[in-house]
Amino acid sequence: MIENPRSLLLINIEHSLSLFASIDHLNPYSFLFWAQANIMKKTTLLILYLIPVSLVIWFVAAFSVNVPFRDQWALVPIFDKVTAGTLTFRPLWALHSNHRIPFPKIIMTVLAFISHWNINYEIYFSIFLSLITFGIIYKISETTAKGVSDRLFQLTNIYTCFLFFSLVQYENWLWGFQLSWFLINLCVVSAVYLLNKKGQIPAGKKMFLAGISCFIASFSSAHGLLSWLAVIPSLFALEGTLKNKIQRLLGWMSIWVALVGIYTINYHPKNATYKIDSFGEQPVLPFYYFFCLIGAPIVRYPMLSAIIGLIIFSCFIGIIVCVIKVINTSQLKLVLITELTPWLSIGLFSMLCSLAITIGRVRYGVEQALESRYTTTSLLLIIACIQSLCIIYI
């Protein structure tokens, strides 16, 4: 036993020096080489992540036109009322093509007066919303993929980035009025992130902040109402007893029912939805349309898109089955809560949107399912599957 503290200090110093000397056989350039390699790795990753973003920015700069198009002209009466100082909530609340979109109307009105109605401001605002959304998706992935190797983690998220900023969404990228699609994606991903965020944040505060996100989504387009249902897996995964979880779920669903009731006040849609009677005449059409919607971000040929959509859908159902099995395995229950739940919520939102679009639009035929605008939500299901498979099978 060494009683002299000074001797103990010298031994520790010698031990540390011996460990340092063993690195690369005393190569004086080893640390410098490691630092340079690390910088090169980070630079390469940054470039890879910036490629799809830069491509979108170039695409918009090259092909966007600063001319109001179709639905954008419906904003002119709101601009007139703002100029006259007579704007009320009623025109903001009024239906627009079967949707209540007060938040997008407010955003586009503000951007119009800032820019003298330069449509490009709306387009670049959509890109800005997408950048924030992907940043949150990356943060979720960081939290859920802790057991995954760094190489696989980066590969998964680079692929996610290329999907998320895919030019298959060209209609939404080039049409500023479509910023509501990107706004709703941001709200849903934010709600999922808040509900699954680690730390000493009370469950009630998480629910409150997530509820604000879902509220904004609900009044940005009709499919935003589905956000309340999509985040239920994340809501149920919050800490607490089973009784607490059921109470939160009941409260959450009560708010959703109330919002749906408010949404339907004086609700007189212009176009009828798919009639149940039509199912007997073309029973395969709704399923064909639904799977085409899911597969459209990958390929836009009806039959091939439907096949790929069926594969993606089956993959997601398989992940849900895996989760159900995991619930009965106490050893893996923590993995379910901390790693798979966020992606289940994001994937569920995408699938619910595809179902809602199918009900509302199937009467227009399968070709309409391949329209670019719908891919902004459909690709979330593909991203959820990729991220979940990375966790399950690695």
* Predicted local distance difference test score (pLDDT) of residue 346: 97
DSSP-assigned states of every residue in 185-245: HHHHHHHHHHHH--SS--HHHHHHHHHHHHHHHHTT-GGGGGHHHHTHHHHHTSSS-HHHH
- The helix (H) or strand (E) run that includes residue 294 is helix 285-295
Give, as one character, the DSSP assignment of residue 95.
E
Q: For the chain, which residues make up each domain, given as ranges?
A: 47-392
pTM for the full predicted model: 0.87
User: What percent of the chain stands above pLDDT 70?
Assistant: 84
- Higher confidence at residue 15 or residue 354? 354
Q: pLDDT by residue (tens digit) across 295-340?
A: 999 998 889 999 999 999 999 998 888 777 766 555 555 555 678 8
Q: pLDDT by residue (tens digit) across 45-98?
A: 999 999 999 999 999 999 999 999 899 999 999 999 999 999 999 999 999 888
* Predicted local distance difference test score (pLDDT) of residue 1: 45
Q: pLDDT by residue (tens digit) across 168-177?
A: 999 999 999 9
* Predicted local distance difference test score (pLDDT) of residue 267: 82
Tokens of residue 241, six digits: 């007893």
| Helix, coil or strand: residue 42 | helix
Radius of gyration of the chain (CA): 25
Please tell me the distance from the alpha carbon of residue 168 to that of residue 301, in angstroms, as a whole number.
13
Assess whether pLDDT exceeds 90 at residue 16.
Answer: no
- Higher confidence at residue 359 or residue 36? 359
Cβ–Cβ < 8 Å for 192, 231: yes
